[in-house]
Amino acid sequence: MEIFLYVLLLILVHQPAVVADRHQSGVCRDNREEFGYALVGHDFRTVHADNFGRCFFECTLEERCQSVTYHWNGKECKMKKETKKSRPEDFVENPAATYMENNFRGGWTLIGRFVMKDQNSMEDESNTSDSYRTILPNYNSNKQYLLRNGFKQLKDDMGFTQIRFYCFKKKPGRVFHIMANKNTKGANVVKFFTESETMPTVCGSFTRLPDDNSSLAANCDKWGYMDYNRWDINLP
């Protein structure tokens, strides 16, 4: 049996209108799964996805993706160029589908990926670099890392303010998906990954995104190795 672990580290170059308070933000309030519904037609791409969380994540990587409909029986992820708001006549009930709008568009760029297979599988060649110009074109590489100096260079050149992390483990179907907040604690996280050795506080530094179901994100006070509630390279 193969176990896949996807670690996708992304940066936000153009900040979309997303805030942490789900009760006051219309953006976050609309960004939730609608079980038993589907948007018919308006597909621009269909991919296979083991679960809805993976489907929605693929949508967030596509500039054109306005919404997704995930068909559970065939594990089909249909990316849409329309939404239920723009095409209400095509929004229908479907007990074997889940619909969700993508309100996280805004220029996310993949800068790191790691896919772990079982011990009998051949690993892909590792690709590491201090230059983001070397890493970014290798989008299809399953083992790529942008080192800290390259991360800082990218920040200096593009001025991003947030980082987003995605990890999927096929068994038992866990999704870790968070985004650094646009506040002082979130800024300290960006600084930690680009230039600082100081381990910032975890709790209050990130927002859990809609498909996150991880115990890791739910227990921020237990992160860290020597000190709890700290970002560190050694997580519990």
Alpha helices in the chain (DSSP H): 26-30, 52-60, 132-135, 148-158, 184-194, 215-218
Which amino acid appears at position 109 of this protein?
T
Dist. CA 190–CA 11, nearest whole Å: 9
Give the CA radius of gyration of the chain: 18
Determine the average pLDDT of the residues in 203-232.
88
pLDDT value of residue 162: 84
Under the banding of pLDDT at 50, 70 and 90, the label for residue 124 is low
> For 124, which DSSP code?
P
Predicted confidence (pLDDT) per residue in 141-194, tens digit: 677 778 888 888 888 877 778 888 888 887 777 888 898 998 999 999 999 989
108-115 sheet: strands from edge to edge: 127-129, 143-146, 108-115, 5-12, 162-169, 174-180, 206-208
Percent of the chain with pLDDT over 90: 31
Predicted confidence (pLDDT) per residue in 62-75, tens digit: 878 999 999 999 99
Spatial CA neighbour of 101 closest among 38, 176, 36, 174 = 38
Percent of the chain with pLDDT over 70: 75
Task: Kindly report the average pLDDT of the chain as a whole number.
Answer: 78
Q: Is 125 helix (H, G, I), strand (E, B) or coil?
A: coil
Q: Is the pLDDT of residue 228 over 70?
A: yes
Determine the average pLDDT of the residues in 191-214.
91
